[in-house]
Amino acid sequence: MTDLLLVLAAALWGAAAGAFLPRAAYRFSAPAGEPWRDNCPEGHPVRGWLGRAHCTTCARSYGLGVVPLSLATAAVCAALAAATGTRPELGVWLLLAPLGVLLAVVDFRVQRLPDPLTLPLAGAALVLLGVVALVPEHAGEWTTALYGALALGGGYLVLFLINPAGMGFGDVKLALGTGAVLGWYGWSTLMLGTFAGFLLGALYGGALVVVRRAGRKTSIPFGPFLIAGAFLGLLIGAYTA
Strand segments, DSSP code E, in 20-128 are 54-55, 60-61
Long-range pairs, 96-99, Cβ under 8 A, ≥24: 96/121, 96/124, 96/125, 96/128, 96/177, 96/181, 97/14, 97/17, 97/73, 98/14, 98/17, 98/18, 98/20, 98/21, 98/73, 99/124
- Cβ-based neighbour number of residue 32 at 10 Å: 11
- In the predicted model, is pLDDT for residue 232 greater than 70? yes
Q: What is the pLDDT of residues 186-227, one digit of tens each?
A: 999 999 999 999 999 989 888 887 887 766 667 789 999 999
Angle between helices 223-240 and 90-110 (to 10 degrees): 160
Which residues does residue 55 pair with via DSSP β-bridges, in sequence order? 60
Per the CB < 8 A criterion, the answer to whether 199 and 208 are in contact is no
Amino acid identity for residue 13 in this structure: W
Per the CB < 8 A criterion, the answer to whether 18 and 66 are in contact is yes
Q: What is the pLDDT of residues 62-90, one digit of tens each?
A: 888 899 999 999 999 999 999 999 999 99
- Mean pLDDT over 145-161 rounds to 96
> What is this structure's pTM?
0.94
